[in-house]
Every structure is written in structure tokens, then in C-alpha cells.
Copies of this chain bind each other. A is one copy, B any other.
Amino acid sequence: MRRADARVTNVRCIDCALRRKRLFRPLSGDELTAIQAMKQQHLTVSAGTDVVRSGEPVRICYTLFDGWAARYHQLKSGARQILDVVLPGDAIALDSVLLGAGTHSVHALTLASFCALDGKQLVALLENEPAFAADVLRTQLENERRADARLTMVGRLNAEERVGYFLVETFERLRRRGLTDATQCAFPLRRADIADAVGLSKVHAMRALRALHAHGLADVSKGSLTITDPAQLAAHVGFVPLPTTRRAIL
């Protein structure tokens, strides 16, 4: 749970390759100018760093530019629940800018870089650009649908299904960002992270991975995930991809 260790570089929003991907809705010129104006820095942190900590009041929100992160809750008992994996293009801490001190923490899973945006200006943009706010709302509603599905997964599937679900869901999200090939992608999570994401113990998550491997459905090793037949795995665990919508990217 290290902190800081941040390096700073810079990328201009207009030159940003990430926001050109088809998954993201292109911003209007005005919006892009406003976003560029509120961008405070481009910072890079090493794996293991906490980017945001629950309870700390924040005037800044971030867009993950490169690498992986995880939103999580830490309980007093020591248990941890990973709420969601954060992938490039996802917003971080938007809630704390609009609602005050955050309720979750965010942890870099790999070397990761972020665009830091000034909260005040972002709120101003939301409250003045109608189409922009509606768009962010749409993206947020899509996040809610994914969250609903994850709750069902944790509440109603068995160990093998939960892990399988988590793997295909993540694979599918990466695929839409052009970060996979047909059956493979990077997968920097440790066993303990997988367990904390699906509500299992580390040992039992391990057993579930073995079962998936034995069934020829998925394999996680050396930081990469292979899914022989994504459609088959999806069917096996009851994963239904959400219809593609273009997401707002800040």
C-alpha cells in the first residue's frame, strides 16, 4: 500500500490516441478545449501505489491513461473487496468531485499513468454543457448495469462461474478497447486480487482457476489471460455482454 512515487510527463488531449478509439465518444471542440484547460498534470505511478484513498477529500479527478487499476473497499476485519477493475479511459474519483470525500480507494495494479483534472472546472463544465453532462450520465448508467451484473455474479454464482465471469467480463472490456487479440490479453492481477474481486478466498479462487483450466475454458499464467473460446466461456458462466455504447472519456 505504497504512496506517491509519481512521475510527471505530458500529453495534450488533442493528441491523445486513447480518446480516438471507437469505444469513446469524440468530444466537441469546445468540450475538448475545456478538458485540456482543466488538465493539471499527467502523472505516472508504479504498481502497488494507492492513487486515491477513501475518506480523503478530493478536488481532482483522474482518467486512467495507461495501465490497470482497481477500485476497492478495505474492511476493518482486514478483508478487501475489489469493486471494479479500472481500465484505460475510465474515470476515477468522479464521485468525490461531485459528492465529497470518496468511499473507496484506488490502487495501481501495474505501472500506470493518469490525467489529473481540476474538479471545480469539471463541475462547471457539467453544469454548463448540457450534452456533456447527459453523456457522462449515460456512461455512469452503463457502469451501473455492469455493477448490477457483478452483484448477481457474486450473490448467485458458484466459485468456478464467478471466476470465469470475472475473466470474460474483463476480457470483453479490454477487447472493446482494442487491447486483446482473439483469445489472449494481458492480465496483471495476482491470485489474491482475483479472489478479492469475486468474493472468494485466495485458495478457493485458485481451485476455481484450476477447474476452468481443466475444462479447457481459460488459463491465467505469467501475467496473461487466455480464453480459448470467449463465447463458450460466456455461455458457461451466463455472461451477457452489454450492448456497445460510446462512453464519455474525460
| Interface presence of A137 (CB below 8 A) | yes
- Smallest Cβ-Cβ distance to A81: which chain B residue: B152
- A→B interface (CB under 8 Å): 71, 73, 75-77, 79-81, 83, 94-95, 98-101, 103-104, 123, 126-131, 133-134, 136-138, 140-145, 147-152, 154-156, 198-199, 238, 240, 242-243, 245
Leading 4 A-B pairs by shortest Cβ distance: A155-B199, A133-B133, A81-B152, A95-B141
Given contacts A75-B156, A155-B199, 15 further A-B contacts (CB under 8 A): A75-B152, A98-B137, A99-B141, A99-B142, A99-B245, A103-B145, A126-B133, A126-B137, A127-B130, A128-B130, A133-B133, A136-B137, A140-B144, A144-B147, A147-B148
Query: Within the oligomer, what is the number of copies of this chain?
Result: 2
- CB <8 Å contact, A81 and B151: yes
- CB <8 Å contact, B127 and A131: yes
- CB <8 Å contact, A83 and B151: yes
* Chain B residues whose CB sits within 8 angstroms of the CB of A75 once the complex forms: 152, 156, 238
